[in-house]
Structures are given as C-alpha cells and as structure tokens.
Amino acid sequence: MIKGILFDMDGVLVDSEEYICRAGIMMLGEYGIKALPEDFVPFTGMGENRYLGGVAEKYGLNADIEVMKARAYDIYDEIVKGKLTALPGAKEFILHCRSKDMKLALATSADTVKMMINLREIGLAAETFDAIVTGLDVVRRKPFPDIYLKAASELGLKPQNCLVVEDAVSGIRAGKTAGCRCLALTTSFGADELGEADWICSSLGTVPQEVLMLLD
C-alpha cells in the first residue's frame, strides 16, 4: 500500500539540467577549462558535488568544491530567472496525491540553495511537502539509498509504503535499494536505461493507471 510519495526534483518537477550545465561550463571557464555538455552526463542525478566536481576532476582541476558550487549557483540564479516552469503534470499530480491523503517528500541530491531557486521559479512553496531532504542531509548521495531512507523516515513511513518518482538511473537505483517502488520519467534518460523501475512514463501527466489505483 502506497502512503507516501518521494519526489526527486530535477527532471521530475522541473527541467533545470540545461541551466545547471551552462552554469557549470561558465564557472569552469573562469578556471580556464573548456568543458562540454556531454562531460556532465555521467554525473546526472548525483548532486552538484559530483556533477561539478566530477567534470573538474576530468580536466585535472583541484579546486575547492564549495567555492566552485557557490560560484556556479550564483551564475545559475541569474540565468534561470523567468526561464523555468514546472514539468507537465507535476503540479496536478501533487494535487492529486494530496487529495488521496498521501504524505509528500522532496528528496533531491541538489543543495538547498539550488532547490530553493527552482521552487521559487516554478511557483511551488517548500511547504507543499511534509518533508524535504537535500544532498546536504546525507553523507552518501545517489545511487546510495540514504536520501530515500531518510525521506521515508521523515514522513514516518516504511520504504515499502513509499513511491519514488525519479528520472535518473542513479536515482532509480537509490530508490529500489531503499526498498521503495519506483516510477521513472523519461525526461533525462531513455526507457531502455530505466529498466530497474517498476513503472515508466514520459511525464507526471501520463502516470500509468496502475499507479494511480495504488493511491486510492
């Protein structure tokens, strides 16, 4: 029985990948590095420490990750203003879950500052969620299960009573390892790469009927 929904953020509620990638490229450019968008793909969904730090390592840059992140977030905050919108069906699905008395958690590998920027831009209050867990709240980030175990605990639920909504391979693995059922969205990866998920759909506007029935 599903009693709680654990939402990832990027690729589930909002598509900010283009902009954090651009911010990362601009930030690394200040260090003299000409990073490419494809450099960031292997680190998608793992939080900015790996997303930015992994590319920095690839190019041999040994800089303070906190300094790099702070600069990237400053750039990100500027370039996303008026550009981000909630992904199709996201707000409607949240309202549907609320109408079914589901407990809701936001479980994102992103740092709090990026999460708040995203929520601000898509017009979704932090209070929408009963619990929020960010990458700063766990030692091990996705694909480890820690963030979803903590999110379920914060809701007072067992992982097996939670549905994880994810878009990344690392996130699906984290959710399944935690013991949750997983709904994968094909916003960042193809369906063939998300085979570990219990259900796969294109957006929260096309959630399978089987999943909706579990919320009744």
- Token pair 């998300």 is found at 194
Question: What pLDDT, on the 0 to 100 scale, is given for residue 208?
Answer: 97
In the numeric block, the tokens 């996130």 are attached to: 171
Active site residue 216: no
In the chain, the number of structural domains is: 2
Q: How confident is the model at residue 44 (pLDDT cuts 50, 70, 90)?
A: confident
DSSP 42: G
Q: Which of 8, 39, 111, 146 is catalytic?
A: 8
Report residue 47's pLDDT band, with 50, 70 and 90 as the boundaries. confident
Residue 70 corresponds to which amino acid?
A
Cα 122 to Cα 6, 21, 152, distances in angstroms = 18, 19, 25
pLDDT of residue 58: 97
Q: Are residues 104 and 70 in the same domain?
A: no
Considering the domain architecture, whether residues 96 and 201 belong to the same structural domain is answered as: yes
Give the CATH number of the domain where residue 88 resides.
Answer: 3.40.50.1000
Q: Judge if 121 and 191 occupy the same domain.
A: yes
Candidates 137, 151, 128, 192; CA nearest to 4 is 151
Q: Do residues 99 and 193 share a domain? A: yes
Task: State the catalytic residue, choosing from 10, 39, 111, 146.
Answer: 10
- Secondary structure tally for the chain: helices H, strands E: 8, 6
For residues 46 and 118, state if they share a domain. Answer: no
Measure CA 50 to chain center: 14
15 has catalytic annotation: no
Domain that holds residue 129: 4-15+84-214
The per-residue pLDDT for range 107-166, each reduced to its tens digit, is 998 889 999 999 999 999 999 999 999 988 999 988 999 999 999 999 999 999 999 999
Helices 146-155, 169-178: crossing angle, 10 deg rounding: 60
